[in-house]
Chain A
């Protein structure tokens, strides 16, 4: 029996789609059977981040309305065995799907897959309600900014109201240099305020943009800091105890030498 995890944030543009793509790919690389569902109807993006935009025939609403069978709509990623995408329609309205229908779909997918990751749209309206309807767990994404943390707090309240207990936090786009000089809230500051468990920290990393340009999630890039962060989160999700990454970018001589000698620090 698989597990349904919704990736949500409240505020837009904080990294939900990026996180869904990276965790999904990370899990598939580890041999899991995974489906990613894009629930951002009308503004789909998970397909391009995954580099699967040219392979879409059917979408989420086609499945729900019975225009096609579930199997027909699932795009198989040929690069990673076990990875599938169910894209969102681009030309439909959010009300084309109900929470009950999403719940039914998730229950069906759980029979066959290990992980179902749901990329939630921004906001707290219908799209959010659909995205969380079938979820067993939730990952809340925030960045170290006042507006994003505030929205995360609101989302945590709503998740709990919908009986999705103990959501876990991912802090994205952290800049160690700014934290160091006191111009960015630290992970401790954010956890202190939101009072939820942390599952990971992802640095602000230009490799995310480069990998999105190519349609290849950073998690497969051994040299990317963000990729390492997503590999760590993938392992934690699978139950391993991995220490939170030290994002310190201004390294001392010793760690530089270690790196030159091929020791991994991340």
Chain B
């Protein structure tokens, strides 16, 4: 109920701003050629760094370019999300 009242007062975003946001997101994908090669390169580098501190499960490491809510919750912003299962800590990390 409160939501509907609030949304009544909230001005609707102009269609050109919606267009701009959508374009920005789609171009991030297009430009990075989110070719598997690009993500593989990023993945390789991340593994190298993390392995200095932790033992990770390389096989089930998952990394994707996706979207998430911005801090103010107003917009969607691009995000690189990595899911890295940890097997154990290395001595250096303690």
Interface residue? A185 (CB, 8 A):
yes
Interface residue? A150 (CB, 8 A):
yes
Q: Determine the distance from Cα of A186 to Cα of B19 in the docked complex, in whole angstroms.
A: 11
Point out the residues of chain A lying under 8 angstroms from B87, CB to CB: none
Residues from 142 to 172 in A contacting B, C-beta threshold 8 Å: 145-146, 149-150, 153-154, 157
Point out the residues of chain B lying under 8 angstroms from A179, CB to CB: 16
Min C-beta distance of B10 to chain A, whole Å: 15
Which chain A residue shows the least CB distance to B15?
A183
Number of A-B contacts (CB under 8 A): 35
Whether B31 contacts A153 by the Cβ 8 Å rule is yes
Interface residue? B30 (CB, 8 A):
yes
Q: Determine the distance from Cα of A155 to Cα of B31 in the docked complex, in whole angstroms.
A: 11
Number of interface residues of B (CB under 8 A): 13
Q: Indicate with 1 or 0, residue by residue over A59-78, a CB within 8 angstroms of chain B CB atoms.
A: 00000000000000000000
Whether A146 contacts B22 by the Cβ 8 Å rule is yes
Whether A153 contacts B30 by the Cβ 8 Å rule is yes
Interface residue? A189 (CB, 8 A):
yes
Point out the residues of chain A lying under 8 angstroms from B19, CB to CB: 145-146, 185
Min C-beta distance of B40 to chain A, whole Å: 20
Whether B16 contacts A149 by the Cβ 8 Å rule is no
Min C-beta distance of A219 to chain B, whole Å: 29
Min C-beta distance of A170 to chain B, whole Å: 18
Interface residue? A193 (CB, 8 A):
yes
Interface residue? B50 (CB, 8 A):
no
Residues from 107 to 149 in A contacting B, C-beta threshold 8 Å: 145-146, 149
Q: Determine the distance from Cα of A149 to Cα of B24 in the docked complex, in whole angstroms.
A: 10
Whether B20 contacts A182 by the Cβ 8 Å rule is no
Point out the residues of chain B lying under 8 angstroms from A157, CB to CB: 31
Interface residue? A184 (CB, 8 A):
yes
Whether A184 contacts B31 by the Cβ 8 Å rule is no
Point out the residues of chain B lying under 8 angstroms from A146, CB to CB: 19, 22-23, 26
A contact residues vs B (CB 8 Å cutoff): 145-146, 149-150, 153-154, 157, 179, 181-186, 189, 193
